[in-house]
Amino acid sequence: METLLSPPGPITVRPRLPAWLKVPLPTSSAFTKTRLLLTDLKLHTVCESAKCPNHWECWSRGTATFMIAGDRCTRACGFCAVDTAKPLALEADEPQRVAEATRRMGLTHVVITAVARDDLADGGAAHFQQTIEAVRRLNPGIAIEVLVPDFLDKDWALDLVLAAQPEVFNHNLETVRRLTPSVRHRATYDRSLTVLRKARERAPRPLYTKSGLMLGLGEERDEVLQAMQDLRTAGVDILTLGQYLQPTLKHLPVREFVSPEVFADLQRIGESLGFVHVASGPLVRSSYHADDFSPAARRAD
């Protein structure tokens, strides 16, 4: 992968974004409508908390990725903009509020994620289960995708989420093996692969598993290809590849802006490895255009 920045070292100013990473500000009234709805129901989104560059577009399309279990994370990953702090107590009515937001937005595919809650015995798994069940009760027929932490590889916690039968189970590998210790706080490369494999094996009914990688942290091409192969070996069906962007100067620096051409090449490779769906591009994120993959349509083929 071609490095477009200076060699590794202290970076005190964030580099200028290339043209392909610049996004227009929203002009649609739908953006304001989405923001007001989320404010009204007192819901958090990963769009805002993680400073996602696509939240202008997604909110203008009337979509959002709900972030449950609060907006304070117990981990301090070097790439993530979500606040690391002592979490507050879970809100018992949050599952119902997420379900109501989903109903008002008219979503047919919803993505639900959460902060890591290592302070809880189940890592927040029961809260995921309750949210999935509440959303499905109020929105029959909706496709539910969850993006979960690793629950410290506790099988019984994982089973709580799987018992609610989401259509898509997502857990991100985030980066290559070599960089994992410096990029992901407490998480490990092999644990993430194990969680993804177990989700497929332990699910009460067939589901699609999904994972993603950020590029631009200093990984080598061969390392990316090995991570993609490791995900396929773990039985992962859906792959996302996107550009890492530094949220603040306190976070890990961008070492490379990966070109759209490289992302296109990696998409072709991913498809050849057997992933049933690959989303690969500079602005791709775990939940970006998640509804481009339809579990129901796929099973009908």
In a domain, 21, yes or no: no
Averaged pLDDT for residues 1-20: 60
Count of structural domains within the chain: 1
In a domain, 49, yes or no: yes
pLDDT in tens, 281-298: 999 988 777 777 888 777
Amino acid identity, position 164 = A
In a domain, 1, yes or no: no
Domain hosting 135: range is 28-300
Instruction: Please report the pLDDT score of residue 2 as a whole number.
Output: 45
In a domain, 6, yes or no: no
Instruction: Please report the pLDDT score of residue 300 as a whole number.
Output: 66
pLDDT in tens, 176-185: 999 999 999 9
pLDDT in tens, 189-233: 999 999 999 999 999 999 999 999 999 999 999 999 999 999 999
Specify which residues 112 forms β-bridges with. Answer: 66, 146
In a domain, 120, yes or no: yes
Question: Does residue 15 or residue 67 have the better pLDDT?
Answer: 67
Instruction: Please report the pLDDT score of residue 1 as a whole number.
Output: 58
Element (DSSP H or E) covering residue 146:
strand 143-147
Residue 127 φ/ψ, nearest 5 degrees: -70, -40
Element (DSSP H or E) covering residue 47:
helix 46-49
In a domain, 19, yes or no: no
What string of H, E and C letters represents the secondary structure of 50-118? Answer: CCCCCHHHHHHCCCCEEEECCCEECCCCCCCCCEECCCCCCCCCHHHHHHHHHHHHCCCEEEEEECCCC
pLDDT in tens, 69-113: 999 999 999 999 899 999 999 999 999 999 999 999 888 899 999
Element (DSSP H or E) covering residue 262:
helix 260-273
Indicate the average pLDDT of the chain: 88
C-alpha closest to that of 241 among 218, 267, 217, 221: 267
Instruction: Please report the pLDDT score of residue 25 as a whole number.
Output: 66
Residue 62's CATH number: 3.20.20.70
In a domain, 115, yes or no: yes
In a domain, 223, yes or no: yes
pTM across the whole model = 0.89
Does 14 score more than 90 pLDDT?
A: no
Radius of gyration of the chain measured on its C-alpha atoms: 18
Give the least confident one: 49-53, 128-132, 275-279, 282-286. Answer: 49-53
Give the least confident one: 26-30, 51-55, 75-79, 81-85. Answer: 51-55
pLDDT in tens, 105-136: 888 899 999 999 999 999 999 999 999 999 99
Instruction: Please report the pLDDT score of residue 4 as a whole number.
Output: 41
